[in-house]
A = this chain, B = another copy of it.
Amino acid sequence: MNKEKMYKKTEIEMIKKRLKNQKIETPSWGYGDSGTRFKVFHQEGAAREIYEKIADAAQVHKYTGITPSVALHIPWDQVDDWLELKEYTEDKGLKIGAINPNLFQEEEYKLGSLTHPDEQIRKKALDHILECIEIMRKTGSKFLSLWLADGTNYPGQDDFKARKHRLEDALQKVYQAMDDDMTLLIEYKFFEPGFYHTDIGDWGMATLLAKKLGPQAKTLVDLGHHPLGTNIEQIVAYLIDEDKLGGFHFNNKKYADDDLTVGSINPYELFLIYNELVAGEEEKEMNVAYMIDQSHNIKPKIEAMIQSVMNIQEAYAKALLVDRESLKEAQQAGDVVMAEEILLDAYRTDVRPLLASIREEMGVPINPLEAYRNSGYASKIAEERG
């Protein structure tokens, strides 16, 4: 009872190795100003364009050591010379990660993009995605990360099935256009900005789509895109089992898609999700894009990103500590209390010493947040960027 596992040295070494191999992608849009529909608050020194965003992302990597790539949003991060951006990024010790097409900020997309009743607008949206695939080729990106804001606001506004067919048709073309080593990540979202319905409204819709398309299409789980009360870790386990877990957009929420710091509302849930991921890793090869998607409206951008990375790292560390053999035994025996306590034993462990140890070995500060705060970078960019 209260089964506290004793770890062998080899086990600890293996856990440390896996922690050092952890990789989390940060999003370019997490470094610029953001806000709610009521107000975008300006932060001093917030990155204004992609080069500044890359520079800021490099800071997060410098202090945490586990965020070596940056996701781009097109056309927000559009540049004339992709090679130059690629080189700049590599100079900063990073690489370009997922490419995110933007299908929601043009006037034409008011009633939809790939699902719009008007064929011309659907074509425009499709062309934009095809252009993003070109950008992937130029930047070496392997993930096309598709969030479709398409939906309707009112009953009757459009035909669910007609929109579904338009979407399936368009994604077939996208899928055909991808290279063999590219993956299409299909994101789902329960609501917003469509307030009556969303065309890809849940993991079921996304996964049925991905199944129709083929093995290079997978489902993307954004932690904030579920109805309240959803068991996300179950969805993650099911997707792993179906070979359809493509990636994550990490964040947290209390009510809607709040885009808060990862783990800030329910850190135990984050641990339970990582518990499934660790179990998955031990069972099969997984090609999962672990990405952060947040918009920190009131916290300093880089600090909040470091916090998020550290919270994810902590969840992974704790999940690695779970005594899976004993857990399986307890489950098989129907010992509900013991099974839960085995998880809790790992969760209750203070993993800060363990993380300090791997950070030391990786040559990054033991306390990334403090080190970043003390570095003077924030005041430097506040001054430089006006």
Contact = CB atoms under 8 A, between A and B. Distances in A.
Interface in A114-129: 117-118
B154 A261 contact: yes
Contacts of A254: 191, 195-196, 229, 231
A323 to B, nearest CB: 11
Interface in A311-359: 314, 327-328, 330-334, 336-337, 339-343, 347-350, 352
A202 interface: yes
B234 A201 contact: yes
Contacts of A230: 227
A204 interface: yes
A52 interface: no
- Name, among A1, A105, A190, A373, the residue most crowded by chain B CB atoms within 10 Å (CB to CB): A1
Interface in A82-117: 104-105, 107, 109-111, 117
A276 interface: yes
A372 to B, nearest CB: 8
A8 interface: no
- Chain A interface: which size bin? 35 or more
A7 interface: no
A207 interface: yes
A241 interface: yes
Nearest to A252: B195
Interface stretch (A16-24, A31-39, A64-72, A130-138): A31-39
A30 to B, nearest CB: 15
- Name, among A228, A255, A256, the residue most crowded by chain B CB atoms within 10 Å (CB to CB): A255
A249 interface: no
A54 to B, nearest CB: 23
Interface stretch (A172-180, A265-273, A285-293): A265-273
A267 B279 CA distance: 23
A367 B196 contact: no
A203 B204 contact: yes
29 contacts: A1-B370, A1-B372, A1-B373, A37-B193, A42-B107, A153-B258, A155-B233, A156-B330, A156-B343, A157-B336, A159-B328, A160-B276, A164-B237, A164-B238, A190-B255, A191-B255, A192-B255, A195-B255, A196-B265, A201-B234, A202-B202, A204-B207, A208-B208, A208-B242, A256-B256, A264-B340, A266-B268, A337-B369, A348-B350
Given A1-B374, A202-B204, 4 more contacts: A37-B37, A39-B193, A160-B237, A307-B340
